[in-house]
Structure 1
């Protein structure tokens, strides 16, 4: 385990890799869903998250926009986030017993909690968010077991590529002054990566890799 980084105030001061052990296991949560309330601005959804959700729900991206997800703006980019119910601030995917109805296909950020990612040198590690889980004590679990995602290497390569694309686009949009151009860029991003990316029977990672070069060209980013 690498402890060279210090994330003061929000972590235990260590960074973890996929094979490391970390005190993150809440033991099945025992009916608690505190981390699924009032987090709409925190859980930004990647194209892979939406791909998993639409398969599970047998619904389109626009179907989910009706009452499960919503678009939020950050750094002039509009991206889908989990939608919280207006009165209760509960995640819209919770059932009446406060259990997640898409647990097997839950977003990557949800899989991580109480871990987070820290990016460095075109890579990322994990850190433990101290005090964010309401459970009094958490037990140690291997990071890869806690995340529990198939095809980890492919998923990590996608996350890094998506992170690089959004970082480059954020820089590009600093120089866009025309609101119509800005709207067109955001529409292209949503259409390309959230609405039309994967055809029936196609592998997500193959589809993403195939689409990425042309999308960069269209978005005018490296």
Structure 2
């Protein structure tokens, strides 16, 4: 989700790389699941998130979208996010003890919390959110260890490439909304959203394949598609 942020207001004022130490470790959360409640539609999922959920739960993506996931418009593009349920607005994947039932293959946003990503110059760095986690006794840990993500450098490159590809599409859709009639811009936005959903989310990735190789092959096809739209 694109938003203007003032790092001085929401962070400790520093930008981190994965080799830095940051106060992220809250001792296994000690039964706290505050960050898994009341998040609305803000836990937006990238293609690897959905691939891992589909393979980890052994369910096709369309079935997940009828259950613990949902679709929302994010800056003009329809994307999946974790669904919050019940009166407490709890993540659909919390168990009866308030613990994450998908911890081994949890999404990237959950994996890095309380860190966030600050994108700039076709790359990103991490920042430490200081108001989001109620725990005040967190200890320092190397970010690389905290993220617990195999092939981290490849993953970070993928996250950056996905973000800026998506941002170009979102900028294009938002520009159409001001330049075209609402019907024309809505139809184009729907075409782009359906392409993104089908190409990157709904079409299964090979369970025994290399996700990144498949993703970049799809990205190349999508760049041909977007070039036909003059994006």
- The TM tier, using the shorter chain, reads over 0.9
- Separation in 2 of the partners of 1:74 and 1:212? 19
CA deviation vs aligned residue, 1:36-73 (integer Å, no higher than 9, x gap): 00113221000000011001110011111112011111
What corresponds to 2:118 in structure 1? Answer: 118
User: CA–CA distance in 2 between the matches of 1:180 and 1:113?
Assistant: 36
C-alpha deviation, 1:197, in angstroms: 5.1
Structure 1 match to 2:223: 216
- Aligned residues: CA RMSD: 1.4
Unaligned runs of 5+ in 2: 1-5
Cα contact 1:197–1:208 (8 A) shared by 2: no
Asked if residue 127 in structure 1 is aligned to residue 134 in structure 2, the reply is no
- 2:69 alignment counterpart: 69
Retained in 2: the 8 A contact 1:197–1:211?
A: no
Uncovered stretches (5+) of structure 1, i.e. residues with no partner: 1-5
Q: What is residue 29 of structure 2 aligned with on the other side?
A: 29
- Comparing 180-189 and 39-48, the one that deviates more: 180-189
Q: Secondary structure at the match of 1:81?
A: strand
- Deviation digits for residues 145-190 of structure 1, max 9, x if unmatched? 1111001111111101101111110122122641233212211110
Q: Verify: 1:183 aligned to 2:190, yes or no.
A: yes
Indicate whether 1:101 and 2:108 are aligned.
no
Structure 2 CA distance, aligned partners of 1:124 and 1:182? 27
TM norm structure 2: 0.90
Give the SS at the match of 2:49: helix
Residue equivalent to 1:42: 42
For 1:200 and 1:82, locate their aligned partners in 2 and report how far apart those are by CA, in whole Å.
22
Q: Paired residues, what number?
A: 217
Matches within 5 A, 1:85-96: 85-96=85-96
Counterparts in 2 of 1:182 and 1:120: CA distance versus 1, 3 Å: closer
- C-alpha contact (below 8 Å) 2:83/2:91 kept by paired residues: yes
Higher helix share: 2
CA contact (8 A) 1:94 1:100 kept: yes
